[in-house]
Amino acid sequence: MVALKAGQAGDDSRICRYCRNRVPPESYSCPACGAPVDIRVTGSGWMEQPMIESMARISCGKTRCQIAGTLTPAAEFDLAPDDWIYFAPHALLWADAAITLEAAPVPPSYDQAARPGHDPRPADLPRRLLEGHGPGHIGVSENHAGELIAVPLAAGQTVHIREHQFLCATGSVSYRYLRSPIHYRKYSNRGEREYEYPSGRYHYQFTASRRPGLLLLHAAGNVFVRDLTENESILVESGSPVYWEDSVQISMHLEYMRTPVAPNRRDPGSYRTIWLRLGGPGRVAVQSVHKPAEETGIPDHTWFPTVKRW
């Protein structure tokens, strides 16, 4: 991956606004992520991640991928003899007889992500992933509508994703299970203390090892991307993030609306808004379809970095 800004290039090639790779002048789409090259940024700094067109081709080293379909797109890989991808078992769509399927090793972080006595082990990204080894062709797809997002990773680059976004990754990308830092204690009407995770109980960290890799994500609705500068932060809905770079700081923010019912006391949960605060520098991506955060219980305010009442 080439870390240049959009519009900068030392030759006749162009720079993709999404993955920052060079695009040959004769190409209409980026060969690394499949996005069109002529994209404009809105005044707010957001740009829509365009849907990868059907039959668009993506390359990562010797691995070739072709996206087929639009409503529920599939990713079809042409794997070299020493290449492989891994994915959740339910995502396997088809495979050549020459493809070797085997269980992926379980990383130690699977058990480490669960806190004894409190958190179960991660269930969204299954304990056993499948590996498809070349040579041959293999296809993977989710079983519900949405968009495929290609995230090319340079050697050593790390991104984080939320639950339910992962589709597949090339063998040069390693992953870890992490317990989400976005959580708080709440108290029920009976005085029982519980933990709430508005952005999901776990998230996952993907890192390209010694060579570039490709990560494919599945997102609902439209996806919007923004590059945050140093000391810049934004508030997003807690269920909307798709991925964020490792340099981005993530925390929680609460806003309370003053109401006639409870003007002077701690407002019940139904009068609050839970946000995620994402701080730069780094890139973030959000999706327009998301599950609203649960609004039950009264939280312990000492667990929140920032609170605002209005």
Instruction: Tell me the three-class secondary structure of 211-240, residue by residue.
Output: CCEEEEEEECCCEEEEEECCCCEEEEECCC
CA distances, 32 to each of 103, 134, 152, 165, 297 (Å): 27, 20, 6, 19, 45
Average pLDDT along the chain = 79
The CATH code of the domain that includes 215 is 3.60.160.10
Domain span at residue 103 reads 41-309
The answer to whether residue 145 is domain-embedded is yes
The answer to whether residue 19 is domain-embedded is no
Number of domain units in the chain: 1
pTM score, whole prediction: 0.79
pLDDT of residue 17: 78
Tens of pLDDT, residues 269-297: 445 678 889 998 999 999 988 776 555 55
pLDDT of residue 216: 94
The answer to whether residue 1 is domain-embedded is no
Q: Which amino acid is at 164?
A: H
The answer to whether residue 24 is domain-embedded is no
The answer to whether residue 26 is domain-embedded is no
The answer to whether residue 27 is domain-embedded is no
What tokens appear for 195 in the block?
């933990």
Q: Which amino acid is at 286?
A: V
Tens of pLDDT, residues 214-271: 999 998 888 899 999 998 999 998 888 999 999 999 988 877 766 665 544 454 444 5
* DSSP three-state, residue 41: coil
pLDDT of residue 23: 85
pLDDT of residue 126: 56
The answer to whether residue 63 is domain-embedded is yes
Q: Could you state, in chain order, the average pLDDT of each consecutive group of 10 residues for the chain (310 residues)?
A: 37 72 81 76 76 86 89 92 91 94 79 53 61 94 88 92 88 88 71 74 87 91 89 89 92 73 49 81 89 56 62
The answer to whether residue 15 is domain-embedded is no
Q: What's the CA gap between 96 and 29, in Å, rounded?
A: 28
